[in-house]
Amino acid sequence: MIPKVFKEVIDLGDGREISIETGKLAKQAHGSVVVQSGKCMLLCTVVSNYKQSDVDFLPLTVDYREKFAAAGRYPGGFFKREARPSDGEVLTMRLVDRVLRPLFPKDYHSETQVMIQLMSHDENVMPDAMAGLAASAAIQLSDFPFECAISEARVGRVNGEFIINPTRAQLEESDIDMMIGASADSVMMVEGEMDEISEEEMTEAIKFAHEAIKEQCAAQLRLAEAFGKKEVREYEPEREDEELAKKVHDLSYDKVYAVAKAGSAKHERTAAFDAIKEEVIATFTEEEQEEYGSLISKYFYKAEKAAVRDLTLNEGLRLDGRKTDEIRPIWCEVDYLPSTHGSAIFTRGETQALATVTLGTSRDSNQIDMPSHEGEERFYLHYNFPPFSTGEARPIRGTSRREVGHGNLAQRALKGMVPDDCPYTVRVVSEVLESNGSSSMATVCSGTMALMDAGVQLKKPVSGIAMGLITDTESGKYAVLSDILGDEDHLGDMDFKVTGTADGITACQMDIKVKGLSYEILVNALKQAKDGRLHILKKLTDTIAAPNPDVKPHSPKMVTRVIPNEFIGALIGPGGKVIQELQKETGTTIVINEDPVTEEGIVEILGTDQNGIDAVLAKIDSLMFKPEVGSVYEVKVIKMLDFGAVVEYLDAPGNEVLLHVSELAWERTENVSDVVNMGDVFDVKYMGTDPRTRKEKVSRKALLPKPEGFVERPPRNDKDRGRGRDDRRGGGRDRKPRRD
């Protein structure tokens, strides 16, 4: 039986559409949709166990995968099967997770899985922009307890005009690339990169995307209504005890408030809070502790959160004693590591990042091989967050999603400031050594200084800051916090990170936890963030005012030379023999790429010894050497033959030509060694190509004075030469015709 299909269409307003369809595929999932735009199709399924897990959090997994078959391609590598997710897929998972997770009830702990798959690819559609829409639409068709429909949209700006879900080609021309996640009422997530735009321009882009998201949310609700909205499932809620909550609050609030107001350091403050918690627990009997232990901890955390927030809203003070707009003490250092190509330390309060820079050739670029995108990155950044940075001991099991996301944010913040004509592939690695508040922004700052220390000619230095927000909807009070601590991140209503130069924003990442945040508060928060960014930027430029004019002595120097296509083979040599020997002799790395437009060869020469680089350049010059007819060149004899000498142009080593015995001297030469010998250096005149032999011809005698009375032998006539051979062969007799 053909299943009944339900479908809704969203008009993007420029001839493009997005359709949401259900009823045909994956019907055993608790909710499933196919989202399509052009030939791009995403299948999203959602499943949530009916039994609550024995944990105190929501075990939500968001999984996004791009199938190579969707683009008619095979997976790269030896094993022809999709394996671990790429960084691009991980980043999409994070974008969706950050919007979905806050909309589940706090006491819903059933294991939940959202799976989004790219089933068909369209090169003009970027699938990650529709992943959030697909996830929310599938949830709307399920019986999950979920607050409201959401969606995500990408916004770009080309020639001053905003575009929803631009193509990759349009994005290349855009000065904004932002992903916005929102419900119909509230913006919840913002992430992207920009070309030094203002705070007001960023807000306008968010507003534009939000209007499109409202339409996408409405389409989901229409689809759910047509399909048949399911009753929300019942689940066992967390146990609550109002009397116990009040008792814990009364026992702990004032003490926590006092510790928070003391402005102590992280470990001292944590120890004090733990001591208060132990005192509160001690007021209960052993039987009560056994019965209410988890509730006591839960209510203590609520009292702690309330006390810290009230301190900031009422007195303008924070956990470490700072005012709301105050930045922690900063110290910086560059050129810390002696062997790296560039290094820098950035320390802000109890957060520290050590960044290194490595310079390489195009061969060292980061290769991107996804069904939806193939390419390479000549600038990339890796972020590492070891457990000791927070005073913890835990196993390290590969790169976490958080590390991928934080590294990507820092990369986007800096990459626009790397000049287009930078000849190197540049890798930045950030090692987070201490963490108490935004190590990703510390990475941006240390990365900026390390790049300048390495001699990368950044257009402008970039700094970053993490901001927080505490609001009270009843009183209307709010406080924007500059340079937040780790605790303030958990306790606040918004965590937003902003990076930029002195002239504008280059990247941002926001998670907004409060509903209905006004754009006025958002703009004020962004302006306070700008003041903080400029303060931090001055600390960076006080440490290193401008990029070093040259790379370090031990760093590789890069020279790029363009050669005609016809000489590429000669430089490589048979089986790569020439280029391999040249690299070995000169201690350089040589990479040859072909320009896809002009088909010229682009030769990259990387080496620490300038003499080696010069030797490679000389070899290239010699390969490209073309003597001019009538010009005089200095040559050296490198081989003796019976009929002449092989000479090498001294201006172009490796370029050889035969000096025929007849061109050695005006007099008749019986033996070549009578005139020249191995190693002799002298001048010759280039005569061009001999029309008879089609070989290049040089002459020594043409530069010598002709002897008095010298008479050149007249050239032999071809006909005479032929007749002579006939006479010799046949004795002049008539030849009889040959019989068959």
Q: How far apart are CA 460 and CA 524, in angstroms?
A: 25
Is 495 within any annotated ligand binding site? yes
Q: How far apart are CA 388 and CA 352, in angstroms?
A: 12
Longest Cα–Cα distance of the chain, Å, equals: 139
Give residues with Cβ within 8 angstroms of 576, minimum separation 6. none
Residue 388 token pair? 């000791």
Starting at the edge strand that comes first in sequence, how are the strands of the sheet with 463-471 ordered? 161-164, 150-158, 176-183, 187-197, 504-512, 494-501, 463-471, 478-482
Residue 434 token pair? 């201490």
Specify the DSSP element, H or E, that contains 531: helix 519-543
Q: How far apart are CA 520 and CA 4, in angstroms?
A: 47
Is 489 within any annotated ligand binding site? yes
Q: How far apart are CA 489 and CA 416, in angstroms?
A: 28
Q: How far apart are CA 96 and CA 83, in angstroms?
A: 21
Q: What angle do CA 564, 566, 568 make, to 5 degrees?
A: 80
Query: What 3-state DSSP class applies to 459?
Result: coil
Query: What 3-state DSSP class applies to 200?
Result: helix
DSSP state of 584: H
Residue pair 35/42 in contact by the 8 Å Cβ criterion: yes
Residue 285 token pair? 């009997």
Compute φ and ψ for 609, nearest 5 degrees: -100, 120
- DSSP string for residues in 651-709: TSTT-EEEEEGGGT-SS--S-GGGT--TT-EEEEEEEEE-TTT-SEEEESGGGSPPPTT
Binding site residues for Mg(2+), as ranges?
489, 495
Binding site residues, as ranges?
489, 495
